[in-house]
Amino acid sequence: MTSERALILDFGGVVTRTLFETHDVTERTLGLPKGSLTWLGPFVASTDPLWVSMQNREITERDYWLTRTSEVGKMVGETWTDMQTFVRRARGAEPELVLRPEARDAILRVKEAGLKLAILSNELDLFYGVEFRERFPLIDLFDVIVDASYTKILKPDPRAYELVLAELDLPREACVFVDDQKKNIEGAEAVNLPHVHFDVTRPAESYAQALAMLGL
């Protein structure tokens, strides 16, 4: 294995805790009664038919979150039409609250080992906003950020993976890509990029697998 290696991470759900996991933060920040938010996505898929529709590819990930954005906006008596508004209002004040502890540990371990780090996201700034990203803990440790908010090339388009590999200037076999969406993992498979399908319900196991693939 080459000494030049890289860990390529999706952002939402992989680096951050999902919005499903931070309902308590959202409710407290927005002044909603505890237990107001009941949709739990992959944690209790049977109670979230909209999530199931997304997993079945009947709607897109953006469709799912725009629906949730609209619903939560109505709860606070406002009209929200973009995910950025939801994220900024729900968790933007304290980005450190949504950083996965397992992500923090893995990121620091990768950097201490002298490896490269990259983010490959479909909506980093679109969903979270530039201010959120700039204040997000450890963001400065990433060597490369490829964000479809600007490139307009969404995973699983093969060009998205090729873009991040070109930015890293590494062969694909020297990299490990981590994403929680199956369709994006299928995109990595299509371009022969080593990968881990991140399980948001078992983050420590998923990161352990990725680090092991990098020889850490």
> Are residues 143 and 182 both part of a single domain?
yes
Q: Give how many domains the chain has, as a whole number.
A: 2
| Helical ranges in the chain per DSSP H | 23-30, 49-55, 61-75, 83-91, 101-112, 130-135, 148-151, 158-168, 182-190, 203-213
> Are residues 140 and 159 both part of a single domain?
yes
Question: For position 132, what pLDDT does the model report?
Answer: 84
**81-95 burial code (b ≥16 CB/10 A, e <16):** ebbbbbbbbbbbeeb
> Are residues 118 and 197 both part of a single domain?
yes
CA nearest 122: which of 172, 193, 62? 62
Enter the DSSP assignment of 200: T
Rg for the chain (alpha carbons), in Å?
A: 17
> Are residues 79 and 119 both part of a single domain?
no
Residue corresponding to tokens 């371990």? 109
Residue 163 CB burial class (10 angstroms; 0-12, 13-18, ≥19): middle
> Are residues 112 and 196 both part of a single domain?
yes
Taking the chain (216 residues) in runs of 10, the rounded mean pLDDT of each run is 84 94 92 96 93 92 92 97 86 81 97 97 88 90 97 97 98 97 96 98 98 97
Question: For position 84, what pLDDT does the model report?
Answer: 82
Question: For position 169, what pLDDT does the model report?
Answer: 97
pTM: 0.90
CA end-to-end distance (rounded Å), the chain: 12
> Are residues 116 and 64 both part of a single domain?
no
Q: Determine the structural domain holding residue 209 and report its residue range.
A: 6-16+99-213
Domain boundary among 32, 60, 95: 95
Residue 1 belongs to a domain: no
> Are residues 78 and 127 both part of a single domain?
no
189: domain CATH number is: 3.40.50.1000
Question: For position 92, what pLDDT does the model report?
Answer: 64
